[in-house]
Structure 1
Amino acid sequence: MNKGYLIAHVTVSDPVAYAKYARAAGEAMQDFSPKIVAWSGQYENLEGESHERHVVFEFSSFAEAKRFYESPGYQAARSLRAGAATGTFVLVEGAES
Structure 2
Amino acid sequence: MEQVHDRPWEETPLVRTAVGDEESIATVVARSVASVRGVPVDGFPPLYEAVDLEALERLFDDRGEGVVAFKYREFWVVVTASGTVSVHEDADVED
TM > 0.5 fold call: no
TM-score, normalised to structure 2, is 0.29
Q: Which has the higher strand share?
A: 1
Structure label with greater radius of gyration? 1
